[in-house]
Structure 1
Amino acid sequence: MEEVNFGKKGGRSFFLKKSQDLLAVRSRAGKSLAATLCCEKADQALGGGQLLLHIEDADVQVFKLPQDSDVSRCKALLRELPDVRFAASVLVDPHTQEPVLYTENIFLKFVDLLTPTQCQVILDELGLTIKQQVPYAANAFFVQHKNCRGTDVCSFALELLKREDIDYCHPEMLRQGQRRAIHDNQWHLKKTTVTYHVQIDASANVEAAHDLAQGEGVVIAVIDDAFDIDHPEFAGFGKVIGAQNFDRRNARQGPRPKNDLERHGTAAAGVACANGEIGASGVAPRASLMPLKLTKPLGARAEADAFFWAADQGADIISCSWGPAEGHWADPTDPRHTQVFPLAASTRLAIEYAATKGRNGKGCLIFFGAGNGNESVDNDGYSSHPLVIAVGACNDQNRRSAYSDYGKALWCCFPSGDQSHPDPKFQPATSMPQTRGIRTTDLSGKFAAPNNAAYTESFSGTSSACPGAAGVAALVLGVNPLLDRESVRQILADCCDKIGHADDGPLGQYDRSGHSHYYGYGRLNALRAVHLALERKETQN
């Protein structure tokens, strides 16, 4: 077993075991792995192997070898290929058996008291080479050691962490993330009549708020897979600002045709701040969009860079509709429901930088979708971070969406789509969803889906709820930009409608502080939030 500690000395470690039948292969920079593996020697090594995972950004492929394979021989054969950068064993989570990849990079943070010169002297003594000095924390670096190979990086980092002059030290560990969407109308913004004259009154009261605020002067950074920034709902001077691509592979190879990757980011951005001039309005239609493309696995150093970039480039709000892989929402036996997912120190520090240093010290508002596993959000190191606002999903029947995560860290919920639970005892017929999901932006131009005209009516999950809540925060800051992060966070709690039903059981009930495990402080009411922000403004004057 390999031990990794994302925290400080004495913090909680997690353990990974070396797989006996998984093999990771990576090509050298600028070389195509698919082309590299098209040879007789690669066939000898991987013959009969099944491709389980392809991390496109780093061009890493993970293969499951046949049971009778000699893993050492397979590695040796692949390492003889001139364009193979490494062929190595794969670590897996012993709880879920999911692969966890490691790189040669180590995140290391010295104690704040050291000077830059002292840090450099220690790095030299330890034989460490700086790959990046990170800007979001003092005395923090990504480093590597030329003689540290394979899983030795785990034990090496643990030994370094024992030093009194080091706060954090862990390998860069990569896991596949999961977008917070459940499946491919503007009822979430106002009381609406939908198909067959069914009236839906389960909105976040956004249309009424638009008479007072539409997000003017506010910048919403959306970190997601990709964006169709040519969409007409993102047109206009100053609408799209500070765009950045954190996908090195695509940046190196140049632009690619639009594909399904752009669909998720485009939809999420539309929920937050689409102009509303043609086919769909965002919650804050006059806010600016900072699209930050990030397709790397969870834990990559570019993940932290994205949060720093957002804060440093003037984002007021950061919306993240992604997170760790989850258990199936309708299968209570899925082992991933109880998996605890730790947050890498690099990402944690970058989130804390944005939340405390962003907006000239007033702090960025950081939103994460709580998750779609019908499980505890408190196990998710991203959504449960104390400086993050975790957003759950509620449906068109004023109930928790069946898949939405719950727990102490859940702050609020926002209208989204729902799914029918296969077991009627978990979802009575009276609470069955009447809509397909949320109407928002989709791929435009020649890439638009047939008969879809660059819009979709079925965006869903906490992927949709998260940017919706971010849009409400933009309305608040639009009328009162002097509010600090904690003040906005409290307004979002105080403005909520206490939705739910007695059938929800104890987890759906609100405690003395007004919090529910199923709903947080309730469903956001945008009009009330704006009124509260204006009341604060009067007291500020």
Structure 2
Amino acid sequence: MDSVILKRGNSTISLEKSEDAIGLRTKSISDLKAVLPTMDEGMSWVDTSKVLAGFHIINIKGPKDIDFTLDQLREHEMINVGSHVYHTPQSRIPYIPTGKITLRFDPAVTEAEKQLVIDSFHLQVVESRIKEREGTENEETFIVSVTPQSPNPLKVALELQHMKNITLAEPDLSTPGKLAQFDPPADPLFKEQWHLQNKGLQFGSSLGLKAGADARVVQAWEIMGSFGNPECVIAIIDDGFDLGHPDLSGPGKIVAPWDFQTKTADPTPKYMTQYEGDYHGTACAGIAVGSHNDVGIVGVAPDCRLMPIRWGGNINDDAIEDWFFHAMRNGAWIINSSWCASAANYVLSTRQLEAIEECANKGRNGLGCVIVFAAGNSNTDVNDPQKETVNGFAIHPNVISVAACTSRDERSAYSNYGKEITVCAPSDGQGGRGLLTADVRGKFTFQGVEYFAGNDVGDYFRGFGGTSGAAPLVSGVCGLILSLNPKLTARAVKEILKETARKIGEPADFDNGHSVHFGYGCVNAEEAINFIFKSIQP
């Protein structure tokens, strides 16, 4: 049973079977540690440390499907009970059936008929409750439980709910509780990532900061109750990627990597001189999808996955088709492009226009890939043919064009502008602070001399910025949006960003809701997620 809709209380609940999580009940935690290493070769597992109704929630990765793995484990002598884990379509929060079902019969049902139902599903009666009602027959409620001979408790409940002589059949579902206070990421550098939540103060200093000058990402996480959906894949077309970086690695994190220079699946950074290397892609990836793993930084959509595409550096018709079609064919939901042509006046060819249009309309099984482009950093209009400043990529009608604003909610002076700008997003700029993100690690040798790789010494860079930094932030927000509602079209995602953006600057900057400098405003993850929740309410 991969998905099911069950009556619950005065409403219904839609549950989907997790593809990578199971619940195991053993006599002790030591039994669990003894069982898991005995699984098939190639199978990896992670104990999530979550325990629901006595079931330890385990994440499984391997060559066999989840049903096969669970059936195998159920046969192990140390496993008392094994269960699938479920979640709702809008969240990855786990639900696990405890095995108990609340059951009520129509008053006309005889004892023999009740017993027949109990026997037919191999149930066991745990408890019987009588509720007295004035003027009517007393209402009897049974708490029953499945036995080893019973079908899946959700299947039992669903069949019972369709029987005309039964008025109530609800499975008991265990899910984690949450205090009203949001539990922020434990990644140690998270507190320095002002673009996720800007409290106006860091380490006692307010220099370059303004409270609230951020993308409202932490608030969005809190509303969602998650950090994104691993099914959501964000492709980043850029230079090299340090895929061994702790914030860009982990089981299943990387999807369909490709290097269009070497024609291999290894988009590792290359080093040109002691001052120049492929450091840009790693920084962009960290902003969008840096992992929530208690290490280093955290991205806007940390539980989404990364498709790293190392470009060839040269822009032409074949290259644009190659990059974008690779992303589309391999299941990218979002495509981030923090680049443009070197020429200030670059008009797209028909093939380039149509390649991007095809991705935006036909990708994601017809829903369209969300395509995000940086507006550029020349302080020029993205579409002024008379002054010969045309960024053909940023003005494509099917893309989200992103300008930059600062940690003080001001325009980044370098940011390109124009009527085609969709939104702006926090980045570096005069009077503000840079973005903290992942950096290429290690050292390399050039002409016999050893140098540190990356933009800075160490594994992280505090000075990233430009519209290059603003664009993957928006791509990450799009990842959260699609994590919550994967059925949205690319066009709908763009409209949600426009509808929910936060107005910054002066009121006079906006004409009919749009500013040439800020677009429809600063990207607002919180309001975007609120908008979706309101739209999916029954």
Q: Same fold (TM over 0.5)?
A: yes
| Residue 295 of structure 1, aligned match among 302, 312, 318 | 312
Q: 1:471 Cα shift?
A: 0.4
Query: For residues 400-419 of structure 1, what are the structure 2 equivalents within 5 Å?
Result: 400-419=411-430
Equivalent residue, structure 1, for 2:239: 225
- Structure 2 residue 267 is matched with structure 1 residue 286: no
Query: For residues 117-136 of structure 1, what are the structure 2 equivalents within 5 Å?
Result: none
| Residue 215 of structure 1, aligned match among 217, 228, 232 | 228
| Residue 327 of structure 2, aligned match among 310, 313, 329 | 310
AA of the residue aligned to 2:210: I
Q: 1:325 Cα shift?
A: 2.5
Equivalent residue, structure 1, for 2:471: 466
Secondary structure of the structure 2 residue equivalent to 1:194: coil
AA of the residue aligned to 1:442: D
Q: 1:245 Cα shift?
A: 1.3
Equivalent residue, structure 2, for 1:162: none
- Structure 2 residue 453 is matched with structure 1 residue 456: no
| Residue 248 of structure 2, aligned match among 234, 239, 246 | 234
Q: 1:189 to 1:484 in 2, by over 3 A?
A: same
Secondary structure of the structure 2 residue equivalent to 1:410: coil
Query: For residues 450-529 of structure 1, what are the structure 2 equivalents within 5 Å?
Result: 452-501=457-506, 509-512=509-512, 514-529=513-528
AA of the residue aligned to 1:474: G
Q: Which ranges in structure 1 are unaligned for 5 or more consecutive residues? A: 1-184, 327-335, 420-431
- Structure 2 residue 283 is matched with structure 1 residue 267: yes
Residues 283-329 of structure 1 show CA distances to partners (whole Å, capped at 9, x for unaligned) of: 10000000001033122512211101111110000000000236xxx
AA of the residue aligned to 2:399: V
The ranges of structure 1 where at least 4 consecutive aligned residues each deviate by more than 6 angstroms after the TM superposition are 252-256
Equivalent residue, structure 2, for 1:200: 210
Q: CA RMSD in A?
A: 2.3
- Tell me if structure 1 keeps the 8 A contact 2:269–2:277: no
Q: Which has the higher contact order (CA 8 A, sep 6+)?
A: 1
AA of the residue aligned to 2:253: K
Q: 1:325 to 1:538 in 2, by over 3 A?
A: same
Q: 1:256 Cα shift?
A: 7.4
Q: 1:449 Cα shift?
A: 5.2
Secondary structure of the structure 1 residue equivalent to 2:340: strand
Q: 1:489 to 1:441 in 2, by over 3 A?
A: same
Q: 1:302 to 1:235 in 2, by over 3 A?
A: same
- Tell me if structure 2 keeps the 8 A contact 1:187–1:200: no
- Tell me if structure 1 keeps the 8 A contact 2:277–2:454: no
AA of the residue aligned to 1:511: D
- Tell me if structure 1 keeps the 8 A contact 2:259–2:265: no
Q: 1:492 Cα shift?
A: 0.5
- Tell me if structure 2 keeps the 8 A contact 1:389–1:411: yes
Q: 1:414 Cα shift?
A: 0.5
Q: In the comparison of the two structures, how many residue pairs are matched?
A: 322
Q: 1:387 to 1:395 in 2, by over 3 A?
A: same
Secondary structure of the structure 2 residue equivalent to 1:261: coil
Q: Distance in 2 between matches of 1:257 and 1:296?
A: 12
Residues 116-136 of structure 1 show CA distances to partners (whole Å, capped at 9, x for unaligned) of: xxxxxxxxxxxxxxxxxxxxx
| Residue 354 of structure 1, aligned match among 356, 359, 376 | 359
AA of the residue aligned to 2:287: V
Q: Distance in 2 between matches of 1:398 and 1:448?
A: 32
Higher helix share: 1
Q: 1:385 to 1:252 in 2, by over 3 A?
A: closer
Q: Distance in 1 between matches of 2:381 and 2:258?
A: 32
Secondary structure of the structure 1 residue equivalent to 2:503: coil
The percentage of counterpart residues that share the same residue type is 39
AA of the residue aligned to 1:215: G
Q: Distance in 1 between matches of 2:357 and 2:422?
A: 18
| Residue 442 of structure 1, aligned match among 439, 443, 448 | 439
Q: 1:196 to 1:253 in 2, by over 3 A?
A: closer
Equivalent residue, structure 2, for 1:344: 349
Residues 129-169 of structure 1 show CA distances to partners (whole Å, capped at 9, x for unaligned) of: xxxxxxxxxxxxxxxxxxxxxxxxxxxxxxxxxxxxxxxxx
Q: Distance in 2 between matches of 1:253 and 1:234?
A: 14
Q: 1:255 Cα shift?
A: 7.1
Q: 1:276 to 1:342 in 2, by over 3 A?
A: same
Equivalent residue, structure 1, for 2:449: none
Q: Distance in 2 between matches of 1:244 and 1:257?
A: 14
Secondary structure of the structure 1 residue equivalent to 2:278: helix
Q: 1:452 Cα shift?
A: 3.7
- Tell me if structure 2 keeps the 8 A contact 1:268–1:463: yes
- Tell me if structure 1 keeps the 8 A contact 2:267–2:310: no
Equivalent residue, structure 2, for 1:537: 536
Q: Which ranges in structure 2 are unaligned for 5 or more consecutive residues? A: 1-191, 384-389, 444-451
- Tell me if structure 2 keeps the 8 A contact 1:404–1:461: yes
Q: 1:519 to 1:190 in 2, by over 3 A?
A: same
